[in-house]
Amino acid sequence: MTKMRSKFSFPTDLVTQPIIYNLGKKFDLITNIRRADVTETQGWVILELEGDEEEIKRGLAWVSDSGVRVDPVVGDIVEG
């Protein structure tokens, strides 16, 4: 099992879509929201993903293809 953290930045048209839920279901990943800020017009989430490394890569590619900006996160994000 691999753990990885990424920042997802959502445009207005995707803020209300269940992207994180679908990511976990489609790619058999455990998703853990570490930080987030969501409004009616935009949002970002720091997300910890746990699962098979290849599934994480495929899942992140799917999220990116869906129109969400995906950036890697390094460092301490509310450790615990």
Domain boundaries, the chain: 2-72
* CA distance from start to end of the chain: 18
Q: How confident is the model at residue 80 (pLDDT cuts 50, 70, 90)?
A: very low
Mind giving me the DSSP string for 46-76? EEEEEE-HHHHHHHHHHHHHTT-EEEE--S-
Q: pTM of this prediction?
A: 0.88
2-72 CATH = 3.30.70.260
CB neighbours (10 Å) of residue 15? 14
**pLDDT bracket for residue 76 (50, 70, 90):** low
* Interatomic CA distance for residues 1 and 53, integer angstroms: 7
Q: What is the pLDDT of residue 77?
A: 53
Q: In the prediction, which pLDDT does 79 show? A: 52
d(CA 80, CA 11) in angstroms, rounded, equals 29
Instruction: State pLDDT tens for residues 26-66.
Output: 999 999 999 999 998 999 999 999 999 999 999 999 999 99
